[in-house]
Structure 1
């Protein structure tokens, strides 16, 4: 599975976990739709779930006039996945992670999601680079 597809499927699974309180393994199986399991996808989903509080603490300071509770569920899931990738997957270039998250926001978010996601992740990247 290509990494772009794995990120998309990971987003779908994480969204399901966050919104419906679905078991992560069940959400992954549902998102895969009979495709084979993917290690990268599993790592993103379980990593984002395992580190959710820490990720939210990294994201929150960069949400000008917003709180995590007020974010659209899809934007929250995209930010968590990408922030996990920025923080823990050092072999993946930060710009690739941000570009992929922006593409997910364009595909699944509203008209403003991509700019919002790009802005927040750029600030998180700067913070992590310090």
Structure 2
């Protein structure tokens, strides 16, 4: 269920940042699209929608901190050079790694799957590499996170 919620948040953030669509409008449009696709996957229940909303608005509230951590982690790329899909996945995953109690392993795994589904040929490896470096920075105490669920 959380994978679909993360996809919902990613699709809404992408529309907001790339299309200039109001955040709430982008969220509602992405939700309607995904509800129309329910035959392709598990349905979005109220809990999943609430989780997607929390990720999306959480990122927007901490965008400066998240983007700074991401810029300091990505090696050899700036945001203008990156695939906008990859950047959107990375922004939400970075927010979740730093500010949500989600354990790291499933979070990274799902982010890589979403990048693979929506991104280009190299998105899976790129997103995995960046999130791996971010995880190492957290493990080394360079970045602080909220306590994680067991």
The question of a shared fold, defined as TM-score above 0.5 by the shorter chain, is answered with: yes
**Comparing 76-85 with 25-34, which one deviates more in the overlay?**
25-34
Aligned residue number for residue 33 of structure 1 = 32
**Partner of residue 113 from structure 2, selected from 79, 103, 112:** 103
* Runs of at least 4 residues off by over 2 Å: 34-37
The structure number with the bigger radius of gyration is 2
Unmatched runs of 5 consecutive residues or more in structure 2: 36-44, 142-150
The root-mean-square deviation of aligned C-alpha atoms, in Å, is 1.4
Show CA shifts across 1:89-124 (max 9, x none).
12x110111001000011000010110100101111
Structure 1 residue 71: deviation in Å? 1.0
Could you tell me how far apart the structure 2 residues matched to 1:3 and 1:63 are? 25
TM-score, normalised relative to structure 1: 0.92
Q: 1:78-117 to 2 correspondence within 5 Å?
A: 78-90=89-101, 92-117=102-127
Provide TM-score, normalisation by structure 2.
Answer: 0.81
Higher helix share: 1
The aligned counterpart of 1:7 is 6
Aligned residues: 128
- Aligned partner of 2:72 in structure 1 is 61
Partner of 2:144: none
Unaligned 5+ runs, structure 1:
none
